[in-house]
Amino acid sequence: MFSIIKGLTALSALVIIPIISYFMLIIRNYYRTSLKNFIYNILGRNYLNVFIQIYEMSIGYIKSLLIVILIVTILTYIGFKIVGLDYSIIFALLSGLAYIVPYIGSVVAIIPPLFLAIAVNKSFLLTLEVGLIFISIHFIIGNIVAPFIFSKAININPLFALVAIVFFGELYGILGVIFAIPIAGIITIVYKNFEPILKKRREQDDKL
């Protein structure tokens, strides 16, 4: 009896699985075609321009980020070296790389040099100097230099960028924070290309 049930189950699986696979293939192809048609109908020939803009924005963002990292690293190294902090180059690199993770990175990067100044060197003056150097550099770069550099690569509203960082950070954690600004840039590009076309279509529909 058990063998009969087992055989019927196997036979049912042989029949049902191909049917399910067939319908899944149809559904997948349908949605793929629908998405392709939607993009073509909405964007038309402009879709290529959209992807070019996204590519150029992405490359520009990476270049801008590398420039900011280099500037922060050099300035931090000079500052830490002047006050005599050990392992200045390591902490300077950490300070520069902190800009990969907006806001959160700077908070994390300041902890190691402060800990070294307090726990190892046992110097309140050195701790104060390290803190002032770090905060001053990150404040100036973060509020003046970096926005100017990034504005050349990504033309987005600063408030929108901040909202994107919080939103994607809540959804995806550190990865969300890291990629929030490029994603915000992509959304801005797509919106700027979609909006005039959609507006024109709405006006045409209103006339009908």
Of the candidate ranges 7-11, 17-21, 74-78, 192-196, the one whose mean pLDDT is the lowest: 7-11
CA neighbours closer than 13 Å in the CB half-sphere of residue 85:
31
Q: What pLDDT does 10 receive?
A: 45
Which are the contacts of 95, defined by CB distance < 8 A and separation ≥ 6? 72, 73, 76, 106, 109, 110, 113, 134, 137, 138
Q: What pLDDT does 11 receive?
A: 45
**pLDDT band at 8, cuts 50/70/90?**
very low
Q: What pLDDT does 146 receive?
A: 81
Could you tell me which of 75, 87, 135 has the C-alpha nearest to residue 110? 135
Q: What pLDDT does 73 receive?
A: 92
Q: What pLDDT does 105 receive?
A: 82
Residue 81 clears pLDDT 80, i.e. is over it: yes
pLDDT (mean) for 66-85: 91
Residue 179 clears pLDDT 60, i.e. is over it: yes
- CA distances in angstroms from 129 to 79, 120, 143, 165, listed in the order given: 9, 15, 21, 30
Return d(Cα 61, Cα 116) in angstroms, integer.
33
Higher pLDDT, 122 or 93: 93
Return d(Cα 186, Cα 190) in angstroms, integer.
6
Q: What pLDDT does 43 receive?
A: 52
Domain boundaries, the chain: 45-207
Q: Per residue in 10-59, pLDDT tens?
A: 444 444 445 545 555 555 555 555 555 655 555 555 676 777 788 888 88
Return d(Cα 44, Cα 46) in angstroms, integer.
5
Q: Is the pTM of this model over 0.85?
A: no
**pLDDT band at 108, cuts 50/70/90?**
confident
pLDDT (mean) for 75-93: 91
Q: Per residue in 112-166, pLDDT tens?
A: 888 888 887 777 888 899 999 999 998 888 878 887 887 777 777 777 777 888 8
